[in-house]
Amino acid sequence: MLVSDLLLLEEGLYSNIAVIGNKEIYEYLKNTLDNELIDIDFIEDFKDYTRNQRVYHRVINSIKDVDYKKIYHSIHHQGWLITTPEIYEYELLQLLEDIDFVAINETDKHITAKRMHGWGK
């Protein structure tokens, strides 16, 4: 499954995407989704991840050792987290639920999870 298939981008709406740790995914998205409505940031090391809240509409993570609570706060309401198969762990599903992500799904060892407005702490 292609990560771009999981992005669920709404046609014609602005979207800010963060790709953490996987330059290949970043380059692919940059080459296939290049337009004025989509901004894609590459974060090579999680220590460089933003401290700002509600910055991204989609976050694609390929690094195991990250702070998912920090990622949760950086995602816009109704935004998505997508993890790649190389960091898949079944326990991550429960961790994301504990952090208040909703609509958590597993597809081919990709995990998608949504942040909803008004949910969570």
**Strand 110-114 and strand 75-83: pairing?**
antiparallel
Mean pLDDT across 61-67: 94
Give per-residue pLDDT as tens, 34-43. Answer: 677 888 999 9
pLDDT for 78 beyond 50: yes
Mean pLDDT across 1-16: 62
SS3 for 55-97, per residue? CEEEEEECCCCCCHHHHHHHEEEEEEEEECHHHCCHHHHHHHH
pLDDT, residue 1, reads 47
Average pLDDT, the chain: 86
Between 50 and 85, name the one with better pLDDT.
Answer: 85
pLDDT for 11 beyond 60: no
Between 48 and 93, name the one with better pLDDT.
Answer: 93
- Indicate the pTM of the whole model: 0.87
In degrees rounded to 5, what are phi and psi of residue 103?
50, 45
The CATH classification of domain 3-114, taken from the options 2.60.120.10, 3.40.50.970, 3.40.50.300, 3.40.50.150: 3.40.50.150
- DSSP 8-state symbol, 55: -
Q: How many helices (H) and strands (E) does the chain have?
A: 4, 6
